[in-house]
Structure 1
Amino acid sequence: MTSHKAIVSGISGRYAIALFELATESKALDAVESDLSKLKAMLEESAEMRDLVSSPLYSREQQSKGVAGVAKAAGLGDLTAKFLGVLAANRRLSALGATLTAFDKLVAHHRGEVKADVVSARKLTKKQLGDLEKKLKAAVGHDVAIDASVDESLLGGLTVQVGSRMVDDSLKTKLNNLAIAMKGVQ
């Protein structure tokens, strides 16, 4: 557990470590990871789900029933459903998003991967993601798990963050830099 503390911290980190250790002990790491991936997508897509986990207006019982219903409807495994129940019972559902991120970090570390956050102007194809993964692996020297997202305000290009290193090759940044350079010419 000591090595886990260096990777994640805070309340979300403690819950992620507990779930990670339970999943590892019960040899259900892949199943739990899949369940949490579904949960992450639900949080991103559903305003009602975000409201359920973050609003203090819902009672402990309402949140418990709500997440139990979500777990059943989404076909989540027993361990994941129980974990959501514990979060609801302890009034920690608001930490779910951060806990999912912390769990991803633990899994990546367990597999010897480095996580890369990639933001692009448009959704990347599987081929583009594969090519990017190969290039990042060559640059970093480790397997790379890409967490891709879309931000249309970038206009074009992408930004890549691996650990503390960030490469911003977006059209938006290039245009902003050009605008700053042009102001200096006047």
Structure 2
Amino acid sequence: MAARFVPRVFQQATRGYASQAAAVRPPILLNGLPGKYASSAYVAALTKSDKTLQAVERDLQAVAHALSSGKDAQKLQTFIANPTLSNKDKVSGLEQLIGSKSDEVTRNLFSVLAENGRLQDSERVVEEFARLMAAHRGEVEVIITSATPLDKAHTQRLESALSESAVAKEGGGQKIKFTHKVNPAIQGGLTVDFAGKSVDLSVASKVRKLNQLLEEGI
């Protein structure tokens, strides 16, 4: 279904840019449908101009805010989770979600998500687009997940240590962008994800390994 997005966006957003479009490629390869939608939007925007790419990024950041902490967040979450909406309801909901001043590429993206019944993937698409933009800027995203929020002192020490570690070398000396997440399920400790790799230092992981050892010893 993602394939339907590519021709529509290119027809509407890249008309007259055919020679440029052939040279535009996503900075990294993303898997899954959300990644394909995000990559198509990235290519369509950058084919027009870097200014358009930045506009689409701002649009999607606004969407992320609207879905997570905006005043109508619950209403919008219900909207994107409902696959049985009429066309009229979809149009009304999309206007509220992306705003009337959003870029044409942004509007095309969410229109096709709605047509294909994939609005529930909106947050993932936004996250994948953010990954593309980080790569576009030469950033290496390091995701630090803890069971509870880290205080400022711990955060600074951890980021400083990671910046001087193999994580920085893995990114080829590029700028490191730290993202902090909270997941109580890890119970304690940390997980660190970067450059397609993951280091699991969580309590939950240690408990699983202990259980495996006990089972092997029986």
Q: Same fold (TM over 0.5)?
A: yes
> How many matched pairs?
183
Q: Which segments of 5 or more consecutive residues in structure 2 lack a partner in the other structure? A: 1-22
Which residue in the other structure is 1:137 paired with?
Answer: 163
- Paired residue for 1:156? 188
Q: Which moved more, 1:29-38 or 1:165-174?
A: 29-38
CA contact (8 A) 2:42 2:53 kept: yes
- 1:105 is aligned to 2:131: yes
Q: In 2, distance between residues paired with 1:85 and 1:125?
A: 41
Amino acid at match of 1:102: E
- TM-score norm. by structure 2 comes to 0.65
Structure 1: runs of 5 or more not aligned = none
**CA gap 1:10/1:184 in 2 versus in 1, 3 angstroms:** closer
- Distance in structure 2 (CA, Å) of the matches to 1:68 and 1:8: 28
User: Where in structure 2 are the equivalents of 1:13-162 lying within 5 Å?
Assistant: 13-21=35-43, 23-24=45-46, 25=49, 27=51, 29-30=53-54, 32-44=56-68, 46-72=73-99, 77-79=101-103, 82=107, 83-89=109-115, 91-138=117-164, 139-140=166-167, 141=169, 142=171, 143-162=175-194
Distance in structure 2 (CA, Å) of the matches to 1:168 and 1:128 = 18
Q: Is the 8 A contact 1:159 1:169 kept in 2?
A: yes
**1:8: how far off?**
2.3
* 1:120/1:149 contact within 8 Å kept: yes
Amino acid at match of 1:50: Q
Residues 25-63 of structure 1 deviation map (CA, whole Å, 9 limit, x = unaligned):
151545543442343344456454333123211123212
In structure 2, what residue type is equivalent to 1:66?
A: G
Q: Which has the larger radius of gyration?
A: 2
Offset, 1:149: 1.8
Cα RMSD (Å) of the superposition? 3.3
Q: Give the drift of 1:100.
A: 1.2
The 8 Å contact of residues 68 and 85 in structure 1, kept in 2 or not, is answered as no
Normalising by structure 1, what TM-score?
Answer: 0.74
CA separation of 1:183 and 1:26: change in aligned 2, threshold 3 A: closer
Question: What amino acid does structure 2 have at the position aligned with 1:40?
Answer: A
Deviation at 1:151, TM superposition (A): 1.1
CA distance in 2, matches of 1:183, 1:17: 44
